[in-house]
Amino acid sequence: MTYLVLGAAGFIGSNLCSTLRRNGEDVVGADIAPGSDFRIRYVDLNDVDSIDDILSLVRPDAIIQAAGVVEQSEYALQWNPRFTKNLLDAVLRYGAERISQIVILGSAAEYGVVDATQRNVPEETPLCADGYYGRSKKEETACALSYKDLYGLPVVIARMFNILGSGGVAAHRPGTFIPNTLKQIGEIKAGIRSGFDHINRLDTARDYIDIADVADALIVLAHNSDHQWDTYNIGSGTATTNKALIELMMEASGISVPLIEKSPTPEPHHAECADITRLTTEFGWQPRRTLTESIATICRRAGSGPTIPVLIIGAGVAGQLIARDIIRHFESSFDIIGFVDDDRTKQNASVDGIPVLGAIDDLPALIARHSIAELLVAIPSEHGGAIQRVLKQCEGSGVKFKILPRQAEVVAQEYHNDYYRYIRELRVEDIFGGSVTTADTHTIRAYTKGKSILVTSHTSKALRVVREHVAEALHSLCVSVLQSDEDNNKQLEE
């Protein structure tokens, strides 16, 4: 049986592909941003030809649709239903009879606010989604079920509750409850703060389930083509309050501080616990990982030190890849505050739940406002002019600069998915663009020995980098740098 997993570079998709491979299954992952993982094929769910191509290439027996926009925005409402509709139209063109099962990922957010007396929410509960994301999933799953009714497509809905695990782009996106708690635990251990300041209510409860159990449940649904129902909840079947969750995280991290809630008003009663009777009764599936085990793993991988507030320059594919990898690896000390991008269409929006805070010209204000310590430049390093603009805007700020390697370096070093591990310092070729050549330094050194060299540029950061490299390579007695500052020139250092 061949599985096609869409959204394979994301949190759920990547874990699902790994589980299928460990089980010895034939699986092909596809994603619009596959990164450097050669096992992931390219697909754009907004491009019908791209979907047709991946179906013809893979010839899947089962499809698991884990791709989509995970954020509270009109963007999610616009694209999530469209992605799945495009997929199902492509299946009709390909031949519905050739596919045994199509699993569409839904969300507990589709239920919205429910009766406060209703603890374990069954699948037949009316859908009252009240946010952009919940509404987008409600429209997406309704579309999928309509194709099942109209065309007989083998569609099943997996309605998932709150997922925990390593690499949670969805569950651990910066600014949400768990990453905020992890960050503040690290600051408490480092002596930076004395307590938590992000707890609205201690009695708010949610149903948390480990990603490994989610992967097992999705495989069960994809593998079995004869389902009694068209929708199945995937959760632990147990509600956990914010108080209990934070206490587990403190215990796993070795700290204990008083918990004080900020709001006197209870939050609306959203679906806090899944009724998983359908899945357990029909297929015998049961969650195997306890919340205590999942939290212990998360806290261990998160580390205990304070985080480094960073901005990612560039909200394109490269920026999204590095953001995903940072979030995927809890041991990373980077705390992503947001993206910076000159694209006006991205301003005041968010990408994978991370806000685009402004353009390059806004860097001085953003650095001061958010106490930024480092900038991660996700602009292709051959675009030296843009990188020089970034450096010029950051003059005197004291921030550190790191850059994402060029594609040639990515391929050469076989980075796989660990982009964040290979972020490096700026080099001369990053600032000025172009390819790297090997110079005959022996001949050049003989020519320049004992001579003074003048280097000019319009940013002091670029000048210092060049000066260090030239002086080291040529052993010159004197390397002077001259900065061009609009109408006048001034010598910086000698």
Q: What is the pLDDT along the chain (494 residues), one digit of tens a residue?
A: 999 999 998 889 989 998 999 889 999 999 987 655 667 899 999 999 999 999 999 999 999 999 998 888 888 899 999 999 999 999 999 999 999 999 999 999 999 999 888 889 999 999 999 999 999 999 999 999 999 999 999 999 999 999 988 554 334 444 578 888 888 888 898 888 899 988 889 999 999 999 999 999 999 999 998 899 999 999 999 999 999 999 999 999 989 999 999 999 999 999 999 999 999 999 999 999 999 999 988 887 666 455 678 899 988 877 887 787 776 655 456 778 889 999 888 887 777 768 889 999 999 999 998 889 889 888 765 555 778 888 888 888 888 888 876 553 444 344 444 555 667 776 666 665 555 555 566 677 677 777 777 766 655 555 555 555 555 555 554 555 555 544 444 444 44
Q: Are 84 and 146 in contact (CB under 8 A)?
A: no
Compute φ and ψ for 485, nearest 5 degrees: -120, 85
pLDDT of residue 334: 76
Give the residue among 481, 391, 466 at the shortest CA–CA distance from 429: 466
pLDDT of residue 490: 44
Start-to-end C-alpha separation, the chain: 68
Tokens read off for 204: 């708010």
Given the DSSP bridges, would you call strands 205-206 and 240-241 parallel, antiparallel or unpaired?
A: antiparallel
Q: Are 186 and 303 in contact (CB under 8 A)?
A: yes
Tokens read off for 320: 């999204």
313 three-class SS: strand
pLDDT of residue 5: 97
Tokens read off for 55: 């179906």
Q: Can you tell me the distance from the alpha carbon of 123 to that of 276, in angstroms, rounded to the nearest whole number?
A: 9
Place of tokens 């769910």: 45
H or E element: which one contains 242? helix 242-253
Q: Can you tell me the distance from the alpha carbon of 132 to that of 335, in angstroms, rounded to the nearest whole number?
A: 25
H or E element: which one contains 41? strand 40-42
H or E element: which one contains 387? helix 384-393
Q: Can you tell me the distance from the alpha carbon of 208 to that of 398, in angstroms, rounded to the nearest whole number?
A: 41
Neighbours of 384 (CB within 10 A): 18
Q: Are 323 and 312 in contact (CB under 8 A)?
A: yes
Give the residue among 372, 355, 352 at the shortest CA–CA distance from 363: 372
H or E element: which one contains 425? strand 424-425
Q: Can you tell me the distance from the alpha carbon of 5 to that of 16, in angstroms, rounded to the nearest whole number?
A: 8
436 three-class SS: coil
Q: Can you tell me the distance from the alpha carbon of 396 to that of 2, in angstroms, rounded to the nearest whole number?
A: 56
For residue 488, the cross-strand partners are 485
pTM tops 0.95:
no
* CA of residue 72 relative to chain centroid, distance: 15
Q: What angle do CA 84, 351, 300 make, to 5 degrees?
A: 100
- Amino acid letter, residue 174: P
Q: Can you tell me the distance from the alpha carbon of 303 to that of 253, in angstroms, rounded to the nearest whole number?
A: 9
